[in-house]
Amino acid sequence: MNINIVCPHCLEVSSVEKKESTISQKCTKCGDSLLDAKPITANAVILEHFMKNSDLPIVVDFWAPWCGPCISMAPHFEKAALAMPLQAQFLKINNDNEQALGSKFLIVSIPAVLLIKEGKEIARFTGARSNKQIQKWVRQYI
């Protein structure tokens, strides 16, 4: 079965075979690795693109530079992302820069982490969590 993945490097859509374990999976457009699961810095346009095109669940961290718990969660969010290549795509959105998006998703406190599947929000949590807690939470939905 093939699934569509948005390349973290060029943001083009790649259709790749879904396998249980993958040693190498390259973007069909730019040739870079689709296994590079570092969180992607996104904005409203990029999020929309992922929501329309990615077959993987999207995990979005709404954060801001002045928010202590956001800063302390950042390395945990990154570790969770790196542990889950081809299972979910992790995005980070600076809520201060994207206030319209923040109000569209009713973000009232940050960090707020939303899980979006098939274009719809299906779960969220607020407040900092650890790497393990984030992974466990995401795995419920994949």
**Binding residues for Zn ion (CB under 5 A):** 7, 9-10, 27, 29-30
Indicate which residues carry an active-site annotation.
67, 70
Residue 81, classed as helix, strand or coil, is helix
Omega prior to 57 cis, within 30 of 0:
no
Contact (CB, 8 A) for 91 and 47: yes
Nearer to Zn ion, 31 or 119 (CB): 31
Minimum CB–partner distance for residue 114 and Zn ion (Å): 24
State the burial class of residue 90 (Cβ atoms within 10 Å of its Cβ: 0-12, 13-18, 19+).
Answer: buried
Least Cβ distance, residue 14 to Zn ion (angstroms): 7
User: Closest distance between Zn ion and the C-beta of residue 27, in Å?
Assistant: 3
* Nearer to Zn ion among residue 16 and residue 71 (C-beta): 16
Nearer to Zn ion, 29 or 136 (CB): 29
